[in-house]
Structure 1
């Protein structure tokens, strides 16, 4: 076993007009933007899958357009998470999981289940949702991560449920949403959302170094001592973990440069 997991830093999506003639070269064709971005970064979080379904051939094309080792994280359908009773999401979940995403093969990374800021923690119903999450789809192993954005989730019971089902919480650095940095799975997933469009690398060098250290600590199987956890008494198994981190902020004009800079910090 290696002494450290793989750290991948990336961005949200690749189709963004302000990146043209800025991150993307001026002579780059739009159809080649994914090909280019995937050779500057190691992971991309796909937002479009949250709003609508894709065709199997679309996923296959994405997978063929990126190099070996590149990973796509897919944001799950809003029709699964934007509902009053999560335990009733089974049919919508199956529709999302069977649309052809396994065409990505080993390029398929964590599936992000994002909840509305108004969604409160109801232990029984949330566990019913976690029970619906499959370990595999078409024989392909799946990893699941949840982004909860209401303070009621800052509860040890929530952390315990995630650990029970091997699901990770998004470590969200956000101005309004709660940060939950408890380690509950064999990977860690961070969304860094306090970047500034006024800074070429989104975050100042000092902050980039601080995040690089945290990413490295998680990858080594340890827990950073400078982030808030909900259940400080809970023991976390010390084992290498893969780490995914995304530069996703308001304007995101410089998000690719921030992601590249942070990736360079961790090697």
Structure 2
């Protein structure tokens, strides 16, 4: 009698972004052209966090180029638009979300991973506002396509409105206000199936523990100096142990995504590779 194969949780480790001048001649070899940097990342890591999408809407051609630069089993996490999180404050966000998903995310196809919504420190917990916003988030690429079709006229001529398959779509939220230390938060996240980000920020912002979503999303901004300090071998071992425990805690299958954002002095890619080795995250050969 045959049984279904066991699907094991996957721990993926990468960096937040990949275009940093200080990495050139250090992590990136001397003479490596800028357009080849993502391909270099893709050969050594299993994931990367796209952060250009936070600052402005990208174009479909960019998403297509990024997808073509990495192996088929690579995953892009995509940082949600700061227009939605920082300017709208999550309020009345339907059209802005439609524009965001119409801008080309779906062109990533099977390499499209979780969407990160990073909130500013000034954004305090408001249960009703957060509940309404989380209810707008599409839970599949098919639902994202339907939402994207509601884009406004500013997007005409620069949209991607197709998907090759209807896949699950996951979201994570990264609060930076202590007001989110509220039991209602986890109730809301459970209702909407959204992950609570674990952020290490050298004590600048609160660090929350994961909730019970099937995704643990971790951002490591530096343990001693925000965005700048590297992680010691002991600190990396501690984070590896946490990731391994989270991936199978309480009998729940959880994928764990870890992104190093301590890029100011070039530590991020080296720390990412070191942690990846500790948790057994080895990308397939391209």
When normalised by structure 2's length, the TM-score is 0.83
Question: How many Å separate the matches in 1 of 2:126 and 2:87?
Answer: 13
Q: CA deviation at 1:107?
A: 0.5
Indicate yes or no: 2:124 matched with 1:124: no
RMSD over aligned CA atoms reads 1.9
Of 257, 260, 267, the residue aligned with 1:244 is: 257
Indicate yes or no: 2:215 matched with 1:187: yes
Indicate yes or no: 2:206 matched with 1:206: no
Question: How many Å separate the matches in 1 of 2:89 and 2:262?
Answer: 30
| Correspondence 1:63-102 to 2 at 5 A | 63-83=67-87, 86-102=90-106
| Correspondence 1:57-68 to 2 at 5 A | 57-68=61-72
Q: Is the 8 A contact 2:200 2:223 kept in 1?
A: no
Q: Is the 8 A contact 1:166 1:185 kept in 2?
A: yes
May I ask how many residue pairs the two structures share in their alignment? 250
Mark the CA change 1:111 to 1:252 in structure 2 (over 3 Å): closer, same or farther. Answer: farther
Q: CA deviation at 1:3?
A: 6.6
Question: How many Å separate the matches in 2 of 1:140 and 1:93?
Answer: 18
Q: CA deviation at 1:56?
A: 1.1
Question: How many Å separate the matches in 2 of 1:85 and 1:68?
Answer: 35
Q: CA deviation at 1:80?
A: 0.9
Q: Structure 2: 5+ residue runs without aligned partners? A: 146-165, 281-286
Aligned to 1:161: 188
Q: CA deviation at 1:83?
A: 3.8
Q: CA deviation at 1:60?
A: 1.0
Q: CA deviation at 1:195?
A: 4.5
Question: How many Å separate the matches in 1 of 2:217 and 2:193?
Answer: 13
Q: CA deviation at 1:41?
A: 1.1
What secondary structure is seen at the aligned counterpart in 2 of 1:96?
helix
Further displaced range: 42-51 or 75-84: 75-84
Question: How many Å separate the matches in 1 of 2:186 and 2:215?
Answer: 15
Q: CA deviation at 1:84?
A: 5.5
What secondary structure is seen at the aligned counterpart in 1 of 2:91?
helix
Question: How many Å separate the matches in 2 of 1:53 and 1:84?
Answer: 15
Mark the CA change 1:195 to 1:152 in structure 2 (over 3 Å): closer, same or farther. Answer: closer
When normalised by structure 1's length, the TM-score is 0.88
What secondary structure is seen at the aligned counterpart in 2 of 1:180?
coil
Aligned to 2:157: none
Q: CA deviation at 1:203?
A: 1.1
Q: CA deviation at 1:196?
A: 6.4
Aligned to 1:49: 53
Extract structure 1 runs of 4+ deviating beyond 4 A. Answer: none
